[in-house]
Amino acid sequence: MSDQNKPCQDPEKRSIVNALDGIRDMIASFAGGIEFPQLANGPIEEVLAFNNNEFIVLKDPTGHPYFSSHGPLTDLNHKIIPGTRVATTFPIDPSSLDESFKWPPVQVAPFDQPPVDKLHSTNQGYSKQAYFFDSDATSLITVGPSTPKIAPLKNGGAQFWVCSGAMVTQATGRYEGVRGASVYLGSGYLPIWSDKIDEQIKILAAGFVALVTTYFKLVPKSQRAG
């Protein structure tokens, strides 16, 4: 091994090198990319982080209602990434609509051991998500439980949240054959809200903008043992 390729043994020089690496990674993250290798755990894992500008609409509200979302992806600086889009769906049970206004109970300490009271946190259904890159040449598809919540506001509006933990089911292009998981957390502001269920359905069926942060941790097919 040449001297140039030998790891630095001087603690002071090594700290400087680590600091420069950190600055490089920070600059890369602000440059509009979605890959964050500095967040990976181990030498194999790949980490993606980005936002979605979604327009969410409640479809078929009087039949088999479901939320349908579409929109472009953005980097973490909210700059739209050309050639990207998201498409998701979340079927809901009309009888469980009031679950969106019920919050989980206070959890008891100690928090590093049971019990866990999951009431009102996981019983609203499942959603699937599709993320497309490079004008649909590359994609990641996921499925998992989702939880929407709505908080009415004093100004007559409401704040909407939705979160999900999902597993990758399939992928194409550069991500073909990956294994991994994703999480997303989104919010929307509804300037007009109502305490009447029929009016709530009309508001949701008209659609609203949601800003969603998505985070992937992946292992590429080339590094998998099976």
Q: Where along the chain do its domains lie?
A: 10-223
Q: Sign of the CA dihedral 215, 53, 124, 142?
A: negative
The answer to whether 214 and 168 are in contact (CB under 8 A) is no
The answer to whether 158 and 196 are in contact (CB under 8 A) is no
Higher pLDDT pick, 31 / 68: 68
59, 69, 130, 152 from 208: Cα distances, Å: 12, 10, 19, 15
pLDDT category of residue 172 using cuts at 50, 70 and 90 = very high
pLDDT category of residue 21 using cuts at 50, 70 and 90 = low
- Which of 70-79, 83-92, 115-124, 132-141 has the weakest average pLDDT? 115-124
Range from 15-19, 30-34, 198-202 that averages highest in pLDDT: 198-202
pLDDT category of residue 122 using cuts at 50, 70 and 90 = confident
pLDDT category of residue 23 using cuts at 50, 70 and 90 = low
pLDDT on residue 31: 47
Percentage of the chain lying above the pLDDT 90 cut? 77
pLDDT tens for each residue of 72-87: 999 999 999 999 999 9
pLDDT category of residue 30 using cuts at 50, 70 and 90 = very low
pLDDT on residue 19: 66
pLDDT on residue 15: 74
List alpha helices for the chain, DSSP H: 11-30, 197-206
Q: Work out the average pLDDT over 33-44.
A: 96
The answer to whether 86 and 69 are in contact (CB under 8 A) is yes
pLDDT on residue 32: 56
Q: Work out the average pLDDT over 197-210.
A: 94
- Whether 103 shows a pLDDT value over 60: the answer reads yes
pLDDT on residue 12: 72
Q: Work out the average pLDDT over 149-175.
A: 97
Look up residue 3 and give its DSSP letter: G
pLDDT on residue 10: 75
